Amino acid sequence: MATSRVAIVGIHEYPSRHTHGTVTPLHIKAHSAARALEDAGLTWKDVDALYDDGDGILWPGLHMPEYFGLDELKVVDTTTVGGSSFEFQVAHAARALGTGAASVALLSYGAVAKSGASDIGTGARYSELGPPNPISNMEDCWGTTLVADYAQVARRYMHQHGTTSEQLAEIAVTARHHAVRNPDAVKAIEDLGLRHGPNEITVDQVLSSTMIADPLHHLECCMISDGGGAVILAREDVARGCRTDPVWVLGTGEATGHRTNGGDITVTAATRSGPAAFGQAGVTPADIDVAMVYDSFTITVMSALEDLGFCAKGEGGGLVENGGLNFDTPGLALNTDGGGLSSNHPGQRGIFLLIEATRQLRGQSTAQVPDARLAIAHGTGGTLNRRYASGTVVLGRD
């Protein structure tokens, strides 16, 4: 089957991180979708492929076409793999558009984790109220939290690879270094009352913040915010007529992982999604200018960078030390919008990775890497310590 190239042609990030109960996830999705279509120079009528992970409503494949007012859909995809849903959806959209099944895809996301007091991040609690299943029956009684799950990975990491808390803290410091340059992130930090205001932070400040679940400190955990956004993808013939410069989907990779008897929880499914995406794109990690890597916690980034091949396993510390991944130091730049640690995290942040990577390749980031040509968006959904998904997308410009 002949395939066409596929590009991201429209993006929008919903600006508010604290909506005070005035909007719903559906409202955020539709608002963002309309702005992203405007960005591309397209309209609702052009959309014939819809991707939705079901935030804010059950059975999204039934409800969202109606809510948006989309009457001519040829593809509907409700892939739900937590925060990596959007990287998986881009992979599916690239295939659907590339093979001619459809021509314009809409991905959108909206959540009100802050206003709705959701149980994510540092607010995590487990209260499974659905029917019992073997997993909930074996795990819920232990009262582990999302932070404690990732903390068990961090603990094992330190034991096995010699990674230090100082090295993990550097990831939070870099995120804040970028957030202070992003007006939406600065407003988020102020609106949500994050520590140390809209200022840069130090490794010492990260390590002296409250221990939430050993060895993870408060400033190593993502914020809990409202927010959302939308991404429009188009087949090459449509993309060439859009208002924006196309940001090409060069490669994608999808993988899932789960803890196993005797398995190594420090190794993630990025070891499979990364090579698949880089291989398809015909590039290597050394070629990448900007890495947008899901930062639910500092350890999420450390494990992903290593498993994607930006350095050898256990050597991520050397990569992140001394601002090594700041936008204004040579080489790779990390999470240039401020990330989930310092810009926004409504629960499933994968769409923001795509949006900021696109901004970088358009030259529109608030922490712009000079002449950025290649970027990745790497989502980690679910819970690294238990069951999760890894989705990698390689993006490039003309």
Residues at the site binding another protein, with contacts judged by CB under 8 A = 119, 122-129, 131-145, 147-149, 151-153, 155-156, 159, 210-216, 259-263, 265, 385
| Of residues 149 and 337, the one with the C-beta less far from another protein | 149
| Comparison of 5 and 387: residue with beta carbon closer to another protein | 387
Query: Which residue reads 């957030």 in tokens?
Result: 179
Query: Which is closer to another protein, CB of 91 or CB of 148?
Result: 148
Cβ partners under 8 Å of residue 153, min gap 6: 265, 266, 299, 303, 384, 385
In the complex, minimum distance from the CB of residue 60 to another protein, in angstroms, rounded to a whole number = 25
DSSP string of 110-161, one letter each residue: EEETTTTT-S-GGG------SS--HHHHHHGGG---HHHHHHHHHHHHHHHH
| Closer to another protein by Cβ: residue 44 or 126 | 126
Beta strands 333-334 and 290-293, pairing class: parallel
Cα gap 233→220, rounded to integer Å: 33
Shortest distance, CB of residue 151 to another protein, whole angstroms? 4
CA angle, residues 268, 270, 272, in degrees to nearest 5: 105
CA distance 284 to 267: 20
Closest CA to 304 of 321, 318, 287, 316: 316
Considering the complex, what minimum distance in angstroms separates the CB of residue 22 from another protein?
Answer: 25
Closer Cβ to another protein, 132 or 370, answer by number: 132
Task: Report, in Å, the least distance between residue 193 CB and another protein.
Answer: 17
- CB of 263 or CB of 282, closer to another protein: 263
Q: Are strands 211-213 and 247-258 parallel, antiparallel or unpaired?
A: unpaired
3-state secondary structure of 183: helix
Q: Find the shortest distance in angstroms from Cβ 209 to another protein.
A: 12
Our CB check for another protein shows the closer of 162 and 183 to be: 162
The residue whose two tokens read 């001619």 is 100
What minimum distance in Å lies between the beta carbon of 146 and another protein? Answer: 11
Q: How far is residue 384 from each of residues 53, 104, 147, 296, 353, measured CA to CA in Å? A: 19, 33, 10, 10, 18
Residue 259 beta carbon to another protein: minimum distance, rounded to whole angstroms: 7
CB of 255 to another protein, least distance (A): 18
Nearest to 375 by CA among 351, 392, 389, 350: 392
